[in-house]
């Protein structure tokens, strides 16, 4: 009977999460051409409001429609300002290629149905759903009650900025999938094939987003312990190597070979990373303006985009984007600031810290890996020159940390499942966090950093908002970017009503799960 109810809970979690993701999925009907993609309908007021979306979709479109890894002028215009130019003056993507290749099946399937962009975005939603299920599975493996694990998973998907980036196009959920699947493999199995898959995924993560290698490093070190084993014998430290397991390292060859091929064909050298190429700021009919052609960049009001600070004439390197002098400002931006901070956008995840403390007592090694991965993620993007993530919703760079904290949240709920004060605080923060993050998913996610607001106000002559209030205003004044809303629901309700429907559905699900957790716990002996 217990197994039956757990399977039923799992099925309910899948069905509800899928339904809400479908309600939030951004898009427009049709198979846009290169000319269409540069229109306001598809960019500023459409699904490609962010250059992060455009830059990755541009590579998919160019590959499938133009059969080239290098962009035509129209596609290059669409991709700016996240566009690079090679030494032989070819336009290419500024991003690692993994995301653009992973969404290919969705693009092709969507094209058959007359909605190629929606199909491409849907692949991200599928991976977001798998991340939710992985959090559920990991939390259960580490001792969380099923209802608590489901609440932790639901919190990650709909009560953090992960919601916004689950219904648009970005690399974040692909990166989180690699992290969580590796973590699950470490917990669940310790054999040859699981270790091979871990190395494969670690290499693949670099193809998805180059900085992933840093916060997957703790997992790699832990996995290396299955190959090189240290033992203390008679006061001496001895180590032994498992020769057969060394062969598992060969799994990195396929992803890295693909990455080298892509860099060679696209960028002109197998070792030339896209992010280290010269950046293109704008493309006109007769000339190309690059990041070394100007001394100062202005805010691009027409597209609602932020352009990073001017880069120097020195050659860019893969680690040159990170500076320790940025740390304190980065910490402030990610945790406290009103434009990106966790305490404003998703305070509920902080309750997961208590769970990690509890977890450390029973699963010391795996908890150390979790904490090290979170620490690497936070440190890395606190050193980043643009910790705001451009014009974005919340601290999008910390989505991997949100996922791991939600594993801890499931443990917290398990340990304090009978504590009325804790449960009351949890549900209050859950409701708040869901309502905030549903604004970003259903409204606009292009929110300027506070540091740019004064410049914006000077240019526009209007007061500019720099947090989720901007998303709320967009929802009330211009509507929702949801595909379901724009094609079906707008005929019978307003965008604020649609927002209320979606957020209420999430909140109701969370409340039911919490009541179920409390009810089941009250029936058990302490």
Using the 8-state DSSP alphabet, how is residue 324 labeled? Answer: G
Mean pLDDT score, 333-362: 96
Residue 296: how many other CB atoms lie within 10 Å: 6
pLDDT tens digits along 490-524: 999 999 999 999 999 999 999 999 999 998 887 76
Distance CA 138, CA 424 (A): 25
Distance CA 51, CA 172 (A): 15
Going by C-beta distance under 8 Å and a sequence separation of 6 or more, which residues neighbour residue 495?
442, 443, 475, 476, 478, 479, 480, 485
User: Residue 450: its pLDDT value, please?
Assistant: 87
Using the 8-state DSSP alphabet, how is residue 483 labeled? Answer: H
Mean pLDDT score, 481-495: 96
SS (H, E, C) 187-251: HHCCCHHHHHHHHHHHHHHHHHCCCHHHHCHHHHHHHHCCCEEEEEECCEEEEEECHHHHHHHHH
Mean pLDDT score, 402-409: 98
Q: What are phi and psi of 259, to 5 degrees?
A: -65, -45
CB of 393 within 8 A of CB of 161?
yes
Distance CA 6, CA 17 (A): 16
User: Residue 306: its pLDDT value, please?
Assistant: 37
* DSSP string over 160-182: STTTGGGSS--SHHHHHHHHHHH
Residue 330 has pLDDT above 80, yes or no: yes
User: Residue 33: its pLDDT value, please?
Assistant: 95
pLDDT tens digits along 412-453: 999 999 999 999 999 999 999 999 999 999 999 999 998 888
Q: Three-state DSSP class for 461?
A: coil
Residue 297 pLDDT level (bands cut at 50, 70, 90): very low
Lowest mean pLDDT across 41-45, 46-50, 311-315, 455-459 = 311-315
| Kind and range of the H or E run holding 102 | helix 98-102
Residues composing the chain: 526
Using the 8-state DSSP alphabet, how is residue 72 labeled? Answer: -
* Tokens encoding 426: 């949890």
Residues β-bridged to residue 157: none
Lowest mean pLDDT across 187-191, 272-276, 383-387, 460-464 = 460-464
User: Residue 310: its pLDDT value, please?
Assistant: 29
User: Residue 525: its pLDDT value, please?
Assistant: 52
Residue 285 has pLDDT above 60, yes or no: no
CB of 87 within 8 A of CB of 70?
no
Distance CA 262, CA 246 (A): 27
Residue 188 has pLDDT above 60, yes or no: yes
Distance CA 61, CA 55 (A): 10
CB of 415 within 8 A of CB of 355?
yes
| More reliable by pLDDT, 242 or 326 | 326
pLDDT tens digits along 358-387: 999 999 999 999 999 999 999 999 998 889
* Residues of the chain above pLDDT 90, percent: 74
CB crowding 236-264: b at 16 or more within 10 Å, else e: eeeeeeeeebeebeebbeebeebbeebbe
* Tokens encoding 223: 């996995």
User: Residue 191: its pLDDT value, please?
Assistant: 84
User: What mean pLDDT, rounded, does the chain reach?
Assistant: 89
Residue 104 pLDDT level (bands cut at 50, 70, 90): very high
| More reliable by pLDDT, 186 or 290 | 186
Residue 256 has pLDDT above 60, yes or no: yes
User: Residue 460: its pLDDT value, please?
Assistant: 78
Sorted by where each begins, the domain ranges of the chain are 2-244+257-301+316-522
Peptide bond before residue 81 is cis, with ω within 30 degrees of 0:
yes
* Tokens encoding 147: 């209802």
Q: What is the pTM of this model?
A: 0.92
| Kind and range of the H or E run holding 332 | helix 327-335
Q: How far is CA 110 from the centre of its chain?
A: 22
User: Residue 190: its pLDDT value, please?
Assistant: 80
Residue 282 pLDDT level (bands cut at 50, 70, 90): confident
Distance CA 195, CA 251 (A): 9
CA distances in angstroms from 269 to 83, 206, 308, 317, 340, listed in the order given: 17, 17, 25, 14, 37
Answer left, alpha or beta for residue 517, where phi above 0 means left and psi between -120 and 50 means alpha.
alpha
* Tokens encoding 154: 């639901």
Tracing tokens 């339904």 back to the chain, one arrives at 19
Q: Three-state DSSP class for 58?
A: helix
User: Residue 294: its pLDDT value, please?
Assistant: 32
User: Residue 153: its pLDDT value, please?
Assistant: 98
Q: What are phi and psi of 286, to 5 degrees?
A: -115, -10
Nearest residue to 393 via CA among 449, 430, 456, 446: 446
pLDDT tens digits along 136-164: 999 999 999 999 999 999 999 999 999 99
Q: Three-state DSSP class for 319?
A: coil
pLDDT tens digits along 60-69: 999 999 999 9
Going by C-beta distance under 8 Å and a sequence separation of 6 or more, which residues neighbour residue 460?
301
CB of 69 within 8 A of CB of 34?
no
Q: Three-state DSSP class for 252?
A: helix
Residue 308 has pLDDT above 70, yes or no: no
């Amino acid at each position: 009977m217990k197994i039956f109810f757990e399977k039923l809970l799992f099925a309910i979690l899948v069905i509800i999460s899928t339904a809400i993701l479908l309600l939030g999925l951004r898009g427009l009907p049709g198979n846009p051409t290169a000319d269409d993609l540069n229109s306001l309908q598809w960019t500023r007021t459409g699904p490609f409001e962010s250059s992060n979306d455009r830059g990755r979709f541009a590579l998919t479109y160019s590959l499938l429609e133009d059969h080239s890894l290098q962009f035509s002028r129209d596609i290059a215009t669409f991709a700016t300002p996240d566009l690079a130019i090679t030494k032989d003056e070819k336009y290419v993507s500024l991003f690692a290629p993994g995301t653009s290749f992973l969404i290919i099946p969705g693009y092709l399937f969507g094209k058959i149905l007359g909605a190629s962009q929606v199909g491409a975005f849907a692949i991200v939603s599928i991976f977001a759903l798998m991340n939710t299920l992985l959090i559920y599975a990991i939390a259960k493996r580490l001792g969380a009650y099923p209802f608590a694990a489901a609440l932790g998973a639901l919190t990650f998907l709909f009560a953090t900025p992960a919601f916004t980036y689950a219904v648009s196009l970005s690399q974040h959920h692909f990166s989180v999938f690699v992290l969580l699947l590796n973590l699950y493999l470490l917990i669940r199995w310790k054999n040859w094939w699981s270790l091979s898959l871990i190395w494969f995924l670690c290499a693949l993560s670099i193809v998805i987003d180059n900085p992933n290698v840093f916060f997957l490093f703790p997992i790699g070190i832990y996995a290396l312990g299955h190959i090189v084993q240290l033992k203390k014998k008679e006061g001496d430290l001895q180590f032994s190597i498992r020769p057969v397991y060394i062969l598992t390292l060969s799994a990195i060859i396929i992803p890295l070979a693909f990455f080298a091929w892509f860099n060679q064909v696209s960028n002109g050298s197998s070792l030339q990373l896209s992010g280290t190429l010269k950046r293109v700021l704008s493309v006109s009919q007769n000339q190309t303006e690059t990041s070394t052609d100007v001394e100062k960049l202005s805010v691009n009001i027409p597209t609602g985009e932020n352009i990073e600070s001017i880069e120097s004439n020195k050659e860019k390197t893969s680690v040159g984007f990170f500076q320790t002098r940025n740390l304190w400002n980065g910490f402030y931006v990610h945790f406290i600031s009103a434009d990106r901070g966790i305490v404003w956008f998703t305070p509920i995840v902080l309750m997961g810290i208590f769970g990690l403390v509890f977890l450390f007592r029973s699963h010391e090694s795996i908890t150390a890996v979790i904490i090290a991965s979170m620490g690497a993620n936070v440190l890395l993007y606190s050193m980043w020159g643009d910790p705001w993530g451009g014009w974005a919703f919340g601290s999008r760079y910390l989505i991997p940390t949100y996922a791991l904290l939600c594993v801890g949240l499931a443990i917290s709920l398990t340990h304090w499942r009978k504590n009325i004060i804790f449960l009351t605080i949890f549900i209050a923060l859950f409701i708040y966090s869901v309502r905030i993050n549903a604004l970003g998913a259903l409204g606009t996610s292009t929110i300027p950093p506070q540091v740019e607001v004064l410049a914006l106000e000077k240019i526009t002559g209007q007061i500019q908002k720099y947090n989720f209030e901007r998303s709320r205003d967009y929802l009330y004044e211009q509507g929702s970017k949801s595909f379901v809303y724009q094609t079906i629901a707008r005929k019978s309700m307003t965008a604020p009503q649609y927002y209320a429907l979606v957020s209420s559905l999430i909140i109701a699900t969370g409340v039911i799960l919490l009541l179920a957790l409390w009810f089941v716990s009250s029936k058990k002996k302490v």
